[in-house]
Amino acid sequence: MNGDLGVWIVSGFALWIAIGFSGLFLIWWGLHNLGVYFTEMETTSWELRAALGWKLENPASPVLSVAGDYSHRRLYWRLALWGPPPQLEHTARAIEALRKYRRVVLISVVLQGLFVAGLGVVFSAAFYLVCLATIAFSLVVMRPKRWTEEPPK
How do residues 121-144 score in pLDDT, each as one tens digit? 778 878 878 888 888 887 787 777
Torsions phi, psi of 109, nearest 5? -65, -40
Q: What percentage of residues in the chain have a pLDDT greater than 70? A: 84
How do residues 49-90 score in pLDDT, each as one tens digit? 777 777 665 555 555 555 556 667 778 888 888 888 888 888
Other C-beta atoms lying within 10 Å of the C-beta of residue 50: 12
Mean pLDDT of the chain: 80
Q: What is the DSSP secondary structure assignment for residue 69, as one 8-state letter?
A: -
How many residues are given for the chain?
153
